[in-house]
């Protein structure tokens, strides 16, 4: 029988000593289902009094489904946070009424003459402002649309959840990116590719007759962080998703999402005309194929009037595409774009393509295939590029397509699920990685041309802008497998709303809403989160190393792995360890990848002396005795980084141990057990990788 500390503690709990029970009396056991929308009573007496003075009733003017959802959320949330019933008002008859709506639905808001300001904020922007209405002090949450008012309401609740002042507030906000999507790699059988939190949320076998009530909570969580779209199925798409049977199921999901401002999208299989209706070809220039997609689009919009569009993976990893017929990616994308355009739909065409037979360095391929097509895509097409040049590695330079596509909108694809970052076992907060990506300067229009500004359409005038994230949600009760993995879902939504956000600020926001506002708890949790990604990089693939993972699962270390299916799926292909050194030569003497970047980056990366050390092994094959900036030779520096990573994980567990009794015991134990495994894994990574590299360096480990 396997010993389970968590199960043991659950059985033991009723018999624990009274003193221990009393020490934990201030925290409530919970399972993580509520995410960051916990709405527990404000535990600061002074703030609670202030909030009660500012909030006595809710007045929502408008009868749309979104406004009904908004009113329900405010009533539930404020009732919990203020620990008292919050009434629904018909007029601002007393001080402290929260008035919510739009100028078109609320005569009260219309009387404030904010129309120009709200119009400038757009349909998803909002204003939260202290104001006087009919002689009473109120807080007004106003927008040009009900969806904007919903976003503003969640912002207002976040102020209370994080203990912010409501006195004389004046807040305006709007998204900097139009499309803010979760990509679900869910399959028809309920499995999730790269999913580490259980089965699919969609339960296709129950739809459309029964829709899991949990989907409403999924929609609430997404709306609270500004996500406005969900791609429901795997990019390695089954064509059955485009059949009427499944479109009716998807329509049932869309009906739950719609009031929360979330559109549904589908990953489309490019070979669907052949696979569904047995057409002899899927050639994008064939008239019958063109008509098939037009008819299919018409059918989709009859069933789902606000359908968002298609995500497509084509001519990549055995997926069919236009190149099967001698056509370009632009011709393939435009086929679908033409079918969707009359309905307002869009196409997101992934740039994740590589062909080792053509390019020995696989990361060169996307740039070579897509940059020559810039300007040839229809106006409702976005090219979707992974944030990094390779494949969601723990650290890699930004993909050089960002800044290179001047006429074609670039949609940034991030991965929330931790495929290469410890799955749902390791605590790795991805906010610092995303902030690093968005702050990277492309130099496409000189200094300051950051990836964030490119994605926002601030460098080139993109008509569409977007950010997507490969989702980490599943049927696990706590949604994401690891209690801290919820932070990556949260941070993704907030970065998608504003790519120039601060990872540390978002960590603080999430912590306060998820673990409480106790100062010691907040400072400890934020410290753990902000060091976690760099710790992972150090104990797995420091100094720009990449691709060190085992075959297929991408969890454990296997730096010498050779995959018989193809060389560029092998760890050894990326590591390139030999008697001379370590790393992939991508300089002008190597694969020439450096010149896919703008000056001065290309020169900086090309020179081993000026290349950032955190990317050194990405761009250079570094000799074992090369002198690093620290004064150590490369071998000792590598050894040092692995050690730092391992020690950081031990420190994270020590920090967490200090919070026993400060957070609920159930989630405390979940995290503690995960950290115990992470310490074990970090040691294994450190030991295995260094021993493997030593077989090439023939240099001794330092005496410890």
Give 462's Cβ-side CA count (13 Å radius).
29
The reply to whether omega before 208 is within 30° of 0 (cis) is yes
Of the residues 117, 217, 324, 391, only one is catalytic, namely: 391
> Which residues have C-beta within 8 Å of that of residue 188, sequence separation ≥ 6?
204, 233, 238, 240, 241
CA distance 381 to 341: 10
Question: CA torsion 690→693→697→699, rounded to 10°?
Answer: 20
Assess contact for 571 and 674: CB atoms under 8 A.
no
| Largest interatomic CA distance in the chain | 82
Tokens of 367: 């740039």
DSSP reduced 3-state for 231: strand
DSSP reduced 3-state for 623: strand
Which of 479, 491, 313 shows the shortest CA–CA distance to 386?
A: 313
Assess contact for 378 and 341: CB atoms under 8 A.
yes
Tokens of 507: 């960590």
The span from the first CA to the last CA of the chain, in angstroms, equals 38
Active site residue 317: yes
Assess contact for 528 and 656: CB atoms under 8 A.
yes
Of the residues 43, 298, 317, 550, only one is catalytic, namely: 317
Measure the CA angle with vertex 581, ends 579 and 583; round to 5°.
130
Active site residue 391: yes
DSSP reduced 3-state for 557: strand
Alpha helices in 304-430 (DSSP H): 329-340, 365-370
Active site residue 419: yes
- Name the packing angle between helices 244-257 and 287-303 (round to 10°): 40
- Name the packing angle between helices 65-82 and 45-54 (round to 10°): 140
Alpha helices in 228-286 (DSSP H): 244-257, 272-277
Which of 490, 662, 658, 483 shows the shortest CA–CA distance to 28?
A: 662
Assess contact for 222 and 214: CB atoms under 8 A.
no
Active-site amino acid positions: 317, 391, 419
């Amino acid at each position: 029988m396997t010993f389970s500390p968590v199960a043991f503690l659950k059985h033991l709990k009723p018999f624990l000593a009274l003193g221990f029970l009393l020490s934990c009396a201030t925290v409530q056991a919970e399972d993580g289902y509520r995410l960051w929308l916990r709405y527990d009573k404000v535990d600061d007496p002074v703030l609670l009094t202030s909030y009660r003075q500012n909030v006595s009733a809710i007045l929502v003017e408008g009868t749309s489904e979104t406004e009904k959802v908004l009113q329900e959320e405010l009533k539930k949330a404020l009732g919990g946070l203020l620990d008292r019933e919050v009434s629904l008002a018909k007029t601002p008859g007393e001080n402290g009424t929260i008035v919510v709506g739009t100028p078109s639905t609320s005569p009260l808001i219309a009387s404030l003459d904010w129309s120009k300001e709200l119009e400038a904020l757009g349909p998803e922007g909002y204003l939260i402002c202290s104001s006087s209405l009919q002689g009473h002090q109120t807080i007004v949450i106003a927008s040009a649309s009900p969806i904007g008012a919903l976003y503003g309401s969640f912002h207002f609740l976040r102020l209370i959840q994080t203990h912010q002042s409501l006195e004389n507030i004046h807040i305006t906000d709007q998204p900097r990116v139009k499309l803010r999507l979760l990509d679900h790699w869910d399959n028809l059988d309920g499995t999730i590719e790269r999913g580490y939190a259980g089965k699919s949320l969609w339960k296709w076998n129950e739809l459309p007759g029964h829709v899991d009530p949990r989907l409403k909570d999924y929609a609430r969580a997404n709306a609270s962080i500004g996500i406005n779209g969900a791609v429901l199925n795997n990019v390695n798409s089954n064509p059955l998703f485009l059949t009427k049977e499944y479109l009716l199921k998807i329509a049932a999901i869309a009906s739950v999402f719609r009031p929360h401002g979330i559109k549904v999208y589908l990953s489309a299989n490019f070979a669907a005309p052949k696979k569904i209706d047995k057409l002899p070809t899927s050639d994008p220039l064939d008239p019958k194929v063109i008509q098939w997609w037009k008819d299919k689009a018409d059918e989709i919009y009859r069933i789902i009037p606000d359908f968002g569009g298609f995500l497509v993976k084509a001519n990549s990893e055995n997926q069919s595409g236009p190149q099967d017929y001698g056509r370009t990616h632009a011709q393939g994308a435009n086929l679908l774009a033409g079918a969707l355009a009359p309905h307002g739909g869009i196409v997101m065409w992934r740039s994740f393509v590589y062909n080792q037979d053509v390019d020995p360095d696989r990361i060169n391929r996307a740039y070579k295939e897509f940059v020559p097509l810039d300007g040839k895509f229809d106006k409702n097409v976005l090219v979707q590029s992974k944030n990094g040049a390779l494949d969601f590695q723990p650290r890699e330079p930004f993909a050089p397509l960002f800044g290179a596509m001047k006429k074609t909108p670039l949609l940034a694809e991030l991965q929330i699920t931790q495929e290469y970052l410890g799955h749902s076992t390791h605590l790795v907060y991805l906010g610092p990685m995303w902030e690093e990506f968005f702050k990277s300067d492309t130099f496409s229009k000189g200094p300051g041309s950051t990836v964030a500004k490119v994605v926002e359409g601030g460098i080139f005038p993109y008509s569409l802008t977007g950010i997507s994230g490969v989702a980490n949600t599943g049927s696990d009760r706590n949604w994401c497998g690891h209690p801290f993995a919820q932070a990556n879902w949260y941070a993704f939504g907030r970065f998608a709303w504003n790519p120039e956000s601060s990872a540390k600020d978002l960590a603080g926001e999430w912590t306060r809403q998820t673990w409480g506002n106790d100062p010691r708890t907040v400072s400890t949790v934020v410290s753990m989160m902000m060091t976690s990604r760099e710790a992972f990089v150090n104990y797995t693939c420091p100094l720009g190393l990449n691709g060190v993972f085992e075959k297929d699962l991408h969890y454990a270390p296997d730096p010498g792995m050779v995959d018989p299916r193809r060389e560029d799926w092998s760890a050894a292909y990326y590591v390139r360890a030999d008697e001379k050194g370590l790393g992939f030569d991508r300089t002008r003497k190597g694969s020439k990848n450096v010149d896919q970047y703008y000056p001065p980056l290309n020169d900086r990366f090309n020179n081993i002396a000026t290349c950032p050390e955190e990317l050194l092994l990405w761009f250079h094959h570094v000799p074992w005795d090369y002198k690093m900036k620290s004064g150590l030779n490369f071998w000792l520096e590598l050894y040092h980084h692995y050690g730092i990573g391992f020690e950081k994980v031990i420190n994270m567990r020590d920090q967490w141990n200090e919070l026993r009794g400060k957070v609920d015991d159930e989630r405390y134990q979940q995290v503690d057990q995960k950290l115990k495994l992470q310490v074990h894994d970090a040691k294994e990574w450190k030991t295995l990788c260094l021993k493997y590299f030593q077989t090439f360096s023939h240099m001794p480990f330092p005496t410890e």
